[in-house]
Chain A
Amino acid sequence: MYNFSYQKVSSIADAVDAIQKAEDGKFVAGGQTMLPTMKHRLASPSDVIDLGGIDELKGISVDGDTVTIGAMTTHAEVAASSDVQGAIPALANLAGNIGDPAVRNRGTLGGSIANNDPAADYPAAVIGLGATVKTNKREISGDEFFTGMFETALEDDEVITAVLFPKADASAYMKFENPASRYAIVGVFVASSGGAVKVGVTGATACAHRGMRLEEALNGNFTADAVDGVEIPIEKMNSDIHASAEYRAHLVKVMTKRAVEACS
């Protein structure tokens, strides 16, 4: 790792102030992606600003039909939360299958969606549930938040404060794991609310996205069979040593079907 200057801030204002003053600053949330990258010397921020001391970014609350999860809430906390388990069990389940237990004890919701790894799990849920990302500046809809590979609508000095997940009548997340890294080769989050179906897909393409064709097929016919006729465009799919584009496209359908089945 190259040297850098570490600051632990205790308020959002301090965090914003610190990043504005830094020559090439980076926020660190859980650090489970950033620290390995820095260890390999593939990133060299001048300043690392730790959001771990900001209490207002932590915690889970349920208000009516909305589950609000603070950005610095760890995956383990989400997975273990009886509030989340009760309101959106698929979300608790998703959080409980990110990485491994030790990673879940440090990795955070905010860190995961700000990084927007093409194979991360949370973006599928944010999109699939139609969640809203709340920052120190504004609220961004899930659909607009993820803009490209590792890219989000966030500005450099913008801090995610919480994500507001609306409850769904039924929802499920199905993940096909990379056998080595355990990231999602394909992950599909399906949510059905009031007859409307939303599908969030991760791992398959450069950036998590809504499965519009799948939604079309499932709206009005919320069955696994409805997925059969959907064509998944292969040319948009990621392709790597673990899965070709063709296989990924196939898995999108299989995981969607399984998620639909798990909803019923």
Chain B
Amino acid sequence: MYSEELVVGWACRKVNRPVKWTSDRTEAFLADAHGRDHVAHAEMAMDKNGKFLAMRVNTTANLGAYLSTFATMVPSYLYAFLLAGQYSTPLIYSEVKAVFTNTAPVDAARGAGRPEATFLLERLVDVCAEDMGLDPAEIRRRNFIPVDAFPYQTPVVQCYDSGDYNAALDKALALADYEGFAGRAEEAKSRGKCRGIGLSSYVEACGIAPSAAVGQLGAGVGLWESAQVRFNPTGNVQVFTGTHSHGQGHETTFAQLVTEQLGVPIENIEVIHGDTSKTQFGMGTYGSRSLAVGGVAIAKACEKLIEKGKKIAAHALEAAEGDIEFADGNFAIAGTDKAMNIAEVAFNAYVPHSYPEGLEPGFDENAFFDPMNFSFPAGTHICEVEVDPDTGVVEIVKYSAVDDFGKLINPMIVEGQVHGGIVHGVGQALLEGCQYDSDGQLITASYMDYAMPRADNVPSFDVDYAPTNPPHNPLGVKGCGEAGAIGAPPAVINAISNALGIKHIDMPATPENVWRAAQTATS
């Protein structure tokens, strides 16, 4: 939460007038919570086959001037608990020092902790591959958690639900034509360009979260989600969710869940969110949780409606409740053609002229869902770049992503989330760097100096899926909103390192930094 929000709420009562405040972009740069800002040292111990034996990580995390709402958790629980990644490393030790500075507060930013962990680990794995003389794909394969080991308990608290990391890697390698890379690199060389390819095999914990788990970590409320599915007498449906959509398309995805389950035409379903006076208490949208947690709550409310509908239909059709079956929007007496559709049931529920005692009028159900575990999307992203060694300019020539999000409710929307996440991650890797001078003045406080990714900074992407079935989630879904931002940064930096034959380059890999690295690499 922010000062401005509280002050506006307080001030409108104090002056007894409506008060509006809107940030301009410069204020947003100054006072919106920033993200990331770690310095870290990481080490991996290996046996002679390149098998990971243990990892040690030392991290300093900048929290800014004050603690923002989630500041403490991002570099701790959302970071260190993801350090196992896709690997069966048996021993992990992490130390995180969180510090205050005279800079804007730092808090959650797309991925929150998980991109930091993934960048560190997936860069380190490439360094390990180089040190062991192994192909980056090979060292990953040797260390992946095997498909038959799920659910898999990592040494850092998290217990992964499901995954088939080899499947995603193989599919991504094929999609990226990894085999053909050497030829493309040769061809690029003839044009004076350095071509590189980089892998990133990430896992993340989202679908935040099981209340029991976060309770143990010091959270004082649960992280369930709520839903209410209400039929109006004329048969259309209002779905109230405690989640909140700000671009994710809930009004569509959630309507799809309801149309699938209840058989009501999608145009007759309205999803309502974001108003404390309209919707029941809910936890909101972040940590890729809306579908994996909120969607399940909706499904459960729909189940309750079906149960209730059976009672009403049984009464109306003069049958035993046990004989009523529900399918495709119709309540029917099993083995007969006597049936009524769900809209008729709804009308009946609000016109209960002859209801027996015990049958409650109304057709409106609530449900809450508290998952047993996080959901653990994973995947392999492969980035191919061409570096112009004369200028240091990096062009992403090909980007392939294969993700496991479990079951997809709306593939179009999921793919859009992947695209957006990738570009957020590419932005971090190549363009975006927030800089303060030594006096604490923010010198990247506008789009004139803070480089946002534009359409011509990125190519179109090749996206595919290697789904597994998460056992804890009744819908079989995992979150997808943050995956790209988590997977992309190491894929891009690994590709640049590969192109130049260097150990590492820090983000953002600006043209000057890349040019300097290229100078060092060739000298």
- A residues with CB within 8 A of B: 40, 176, 178-181, 183, 241-244, 247, 250-251, 254
Contact = CB atoms under 8 A, between A and B. Distances in A.
Given A241-B443, A254-B390, A254-B391, A247 B448 contact: no
B444 A241 contact: yes
A254 B448 CA distance: 24
Contact of A181 (B26, B448, B511): B448
B2 interface: no
Interface string B24-41: 001000000000000000
6 tightest A-B contacts by CB?
A: A180-B451, A179-B451, A181-B448, A247-B512, A254-B390, A180-B449
Given A247-B512, A247-B515, A241 B435 contact: yes
Nearest to A251: B391
Given A179-B431, A179-B510, A250 B515 contact: yes
Range of interface residues on B (Cβ < 8 Å): 10 to 19
B450 interface: yes
Nearest to A182: B454
Nearest to B515: A247
Interface string B425-451: 000000100010000000110011111
Nearest to A243: B512
B339 interface: no
B226 to A, nearest CB: 42
Nearest to B392: A247
B511 A179 contact: yes
Contacts of A250: 515
Contacts of A176: 391, 511
Given A180-B452, A181-B449, A254-B390, 20 more contacts: A176-B391, A179-B431, A179-B457, A179-B510, A179-B511, A180-B444, A180-B447, A180-B451, A181-B447, A183-B448, A241-B435, A241-B443, A241-B444, A242-B449, A243-B512, A244-B512, A247-B516, A250-B515, A251-B391, A254-B391
A40 B445 CA distance: 13
Contacts of A178: 451
Interface string B395-417: 00000000000000000000000
Q: Is the interface of A mostly helix, strand, loop or mixed?
A: loop
A247 B516 CA distance: 9
Contacts of A247: 512, 515-516
A183 B446 CA distance: 14
Residue from A40, A179, A251 having most chain B Cβ neighbours under 10 A: A179
Contacts of A251: 391
Interface in B444-469: 444, 447-452, 457
Contacts of B512: 242-244, 247
Contacts of A244: 512
Contacts of B447: 180-181
A256 B511 CA distance: 18
A242 B508 CA distance: 11
25 contacts: A178-B451, A179-B451, A179-B510, A179-B511, A180-B431, A180-B444, A180-B449, A180-B452, A181-B447, A181-B449, A183-B448, A241-B435, A241-B444, A242-B449, A242-B510, A242-B512, A243-B511, A243-B512, A244-B512, A247-B512, A247-B515, A247-B516, A250-B515, A251-B391, A254-B391
B510 A180 contact: no
A178 B512 CA distance: 11
Contacts of B443: 241
A180 B391 contact: no
Which of A178, A243, A247 counts the most B-chain CB atoms under 10 A from its CB?
A247
A37 to B, nearest CB: 12
A241 B508 CA distance: 12
A128 B436 CA distance: 37
Nearest to B457: A179
Contacts of B435: 241
Interface string B496-513: 000000000000001110
A109 B444 CA distance: 28
Contacts of A180: 431, 444, 447-452
Contacts of B26: 40
Contacts of B391: 176, 251, 254
A29 to B, nearest CB: 20
A247 B392 CA distance: 10
Contacts of A179: 431, 451, 457, 510-511
B13 to A, nearest CB: 30
A247 B515 CA distance: 8
A40 B391 CA distance: 34
Contacts of A241: 435, 443-444, 449
Nearest to B443: A241
Contacts of B448: 180-181, 183
Contacts of B431: 179-180
Contacts of B516: 247
A87 B516 CA distance: 39
A183 B447 CA distance: 12
Contacts of A181: 447-449
A244 B512 CA distance: 8
Instruction: Name which of B435, B444, B449, B450 has the most chain A CB atoms within 10 A of its CB.
Output: B449
A247 B513 CA distance: 10
A180 B433 CA distance: 11
